Amino acid sequence: MKLSRLIGLQLKNNFSLKRYFGFDIKKNKVKGILIIGAIIYALIAMIGTFGYLFFDLGKILNEINNVQILLSFSAVYAIGFTIFTVLLRASGYLFYYKDYEILAPLPIHSRKIFISKLIVLLMMIYVINFAITLPIMFSFFYWSGFNLIGILLYIIGLIFIPLIPFMILSIISLGISLLTSKMKHSKIITLILMVGVLLGIMALSFSMNDTQVNPLTGQIDIFANMTKYYLPFKWFNNAVYSNSFLDLLYIVGSHGILFIVYIYFVEKLAEFTNKRGIRSNIKYKQKNISYQEKPVVRTLVEKEFKKFFNSTLYALNSGVGLVLMIVMSIASLFFKADIELYFSQEFGVGLSAELIIMVLFSFMIGLTYTPAVSLSLEGKNLWILKSLPIKASKVMFSKIVFNLVLILPIAIISLIMLGISLQISILNIFLLMLLVISFSMMTSFMQSVINLYLPKFDYNNDAEVVKQSAAALMAILGVFVVMIVYGVGIYFLTDIISLQLIILLLTVVSIGFTIPFYIILRDKSEKVFLNF
């Protein structure tokens, strides 16, 4: 089989519209059009927001004749995304194929299979890299002048720049998998390592951001220093800014040769690891069997917790909001002045601390979207739940309970710490608690309904559900829409009623929005489950 044909099959298998949306668009045109429209809106909103920030940054850099620093932003951001993707996916994608038992007997050379897997993974990384750096690219060429040669050199450079981190991190990812597989709680240890990396990057980013109007300006000095000491960044900047083909040759030659060597040696390693598989040390202990009777919902919630902590990618992506909440609340106790100054500059001097907390907590609660993916993650095991004498609505409600148990304790404790550090009155803290509880309930029910009607059971790995499914995107986008509606309401009500009444009114509205979603789950779950 030709390599191009093999790559095409893998792209179709992993990234077809049917796999992404979880249904056939031709048979559900209205649903497909709505989802595609939501995706386009989300992309425009994201590119527009970052585009404004980088356009403003480009203007500042152009005034000091240092616009080429934007190229360092592109390179660093592309490498940053590459690092996270490789850490989370390289081990399972390159060294432990999910479809190895199908591919192994076929008359296809192992090297060809490895290269096809490698190219598909790189293509996914490149698509995201070019998407997130598009605003930076536009800002750079707007302020430095558009030219086709520069754009061509930029594209070629951005293809080769992430290769060295890709090679290094893929080996590290394999090492982590091999190391933690021998440990008793391997998934939790891996999760702690990943969260540690995330917190480290957040701390570094916070330390870099001085109190400036544009939050990106605090990163200029560190990116400039990185360009001095890391030669590929210097070559990339010179190649694009000065149209230097020699510097481009340095990038292509150095990275290309290393990548060829990497393929030659790592392909053999991948063949070995796929044949061997991950081996864990398992100890058997004889003990008396004890039978326990538990409520059905409690048992289902415990199952959700096990699934959550057994999937590093699931926990890391859908739990990032909780991590941010904890970090922010703890930081407020030790860096009160810095937090207050940051709030005043980012949100405006006249905005109260209560309103800022409402915005931040709504955003972070929205990022905890387990109800939007937990049904899909049942995958081919859904038949087990369907065969049990349990109502479908009870299964869906248990997933909501799990999300609330995950969010509310952390949210309430974080809210109390922020309230103490920012000197918010006890009454307002109590009202904010009610709003957090009602908002969490509303978003959980809404996301569960989304997953009920947009499930994705046919997937190769958790990443396709957690990061690439239509339900996950619609869930996050839905929370943002609710936040916008609430924001408009707050804007018009601020001069009419007191802050306490606004918070109380939003609490009542959130409960009101929860009711129709509850009714849908209660009445429609059984019927929809029969179609799965």
**In which residue are the tokens 């990022």 written?**
367
Q: Collapse the DSSP code of 422 into the 3-class scheme (helix H, G, I; strand E, B; otherwise coil) and give the result.
A: coil
Query: How does residue 510 score in pLDDT terms, banded at 50, 70 and 90?
Result: very high
Highest-confidence range of 30-39, 245-254, 464-473, by mean pLDDT? 245-254
* pLDDT at residue 443 tops 60: yes
Question: Quick check: 478 and 368 in contact, CB under 8 A?
Answer: no
∠ Cα 521 524 526 (to 5°): 100
Q: d(Cα 167, Cα 295) in Å, to the nearest integer?
A: 49
* pLDDT at residue 304 tops 90: no
Question: Quick check: 61 and 52 in contact, CB under 8 A?
Answer: no
Q: Collapse the DSSP code of 244 into the 3-class scheme (helix H, G, I; strand E, B; otherwise coil) and give the result.
A: coil
The predicted model gives 117-146 an average pLDDT of 87
Highest-confidence range of 99-103, 242-246, 263-267, by mean pLDDT? 242-246
pTM for the predicted model, two decimal places: 0.65
Q: d(Cα 397, Cα 386) in Å, to the nearest integer?
A: 15
**Closest by Cα among 83, 274, 296 to 197:** 83
∠ Cα 358 364 370 (to 5°): 130
The per-residue pLDDT for range 148-176, each reduced to its tens digit, is 999 999 999 999 999 998 888 888 777 76
Q: Collapse the DSSP code of 532 into the 3-class scheme (helix H, G, I; strand E, B; otherwise coil) and give the result.
A: coil
> pLDDT at position 214, please?
46
Question: Quick check: 274 and 100 in contact, CB under 8 A?
Answer: yes
The per-residue pLDDT for range 386-427, each reduced to its tens digit, is 777 788 888 889 999 999 999 999 999 989 988 888 888 899
Q: d(Cα 410, Cα 413) in Å, to the nearest integer?
A: 5
Q: d(Cα 529, Cα 452) in Å, to the nearest integer?
A: 8
The predicted model gives 452-465 an average pLDDT of 77
Question: Quick check: 441 and 458 in contact, CB under 8 A?
Answer: no
Question: Quick check: 475 and 447 in contact, CB under 8 A?
Answer: yes
5 sits in which H/E element: helix 3-15
Lowest mean pLDDT: which of 52-56, 180-184, 322-326, 496-500?
180-184
Tokens of 509: 């509205």
CA atoms lying within 13 Å on the CB side of residue 253: 7
The Cβ of residue 436 has, within 10 Å, a number of other Cβ atoms equal to 23
Highest-confidence range of 19-23, 29-33, 36-40, 251-255, by mean pLDDT? 251-255
Domain ranges of the chain: 3-276, 296-530
The per-residue pLDDT for range 185-224, each reduced to its tens digit, is 555 555 565 556 555 555 555 454 444 444 455 566 666 7
Q: d(Cα 518, Cα 521) in Å, to the nearest integer?
A: 5
Q: d(Cα 337, Cα 335) in Å, to the nearest integer?
A: 6
* pLDDT at residue 59 tops 50: yes
